[in-house]
Copies of this chain bind each other. A is one copy, B any other.
Amino acid sequence: MLDEAGIVLTAAERDAIEVADFGLGRLEQVGLQLVVYVNTERVCAKELVLFPGQTCPEHRHPPVDGGPGKEETFRCRLGSVQLHVEGEAEIVLGPGEQFTIAPDTLHWFQAGAEGAVVSEFSTQSRDELDVFTDPRIVR
């Protein structure tokens, strides 16, 4: 899917693709595949790959160290993704479309029938601080 989206990875990046099943053991339904390009104290950029219909479950990025939580922009590169954001009508992103999610705002997303490749541009990622609605989830 990354190849199809025209995204070139180094060999080391291909070997380091992160697969997250959120501890639920149902990866094809609930999960994410991620390539983390950079994650400093200030800036993070990733590619997310979602299988057809695969869902990233509802969560938020709470305030951290006295500052605001993680701010994220999702930009669809390939396929489509339905984005559900607290206080917003349902958002559907196709290639070239994007949406910015304010810190500490509940959100979840699901790929359409062809799956999706989505770029994420954000402040620092500290996955261990994410708050998921489903208490069974372990990031």
Partner of A13, one of B7, B8, B73, B96: B96
Contact A45 B96 (CB under 8 A): no
Chain B residues, Cβ within 8 Å of A138: none
Number of residues of chain A lying within 8 A (CB) of chain B: 27
Chain B residues, Cβ within 8 Å of A119: 45
The complex places the Cα of A71 from the Cα of B95 at a distance, in Å, of: 27
Number of chain copies forming the complex:
2
Residues 69-117 of A contacting B (Cβ, < 8 Å) = 71, 73, 75, 77, 95-98, 100
State how many angstroms separate the Cβ of A54 from the closest Cβ of chain B. Answer: 21
Closest residue of B by beta carbon distance from A117: B6
Contact A7 B8 (CB under 8 A): no
Contact A96 B10 (CB under 8 A): yes
Q: Which of A36-44, A57-65, A127-135 contacts B (4 or more CB under 8 A)?
A: A36-44
Closest residue of B by beta carbon distance from A71: B42
Contact A8 B95 (CB under 8 A): yes
State how many angstroms separate the Cβ of A97 from the closest Cβ of chain B. Answer: 7
Chain B residues, Cβ within 8 Å of A37: 73, 75, 98, 121
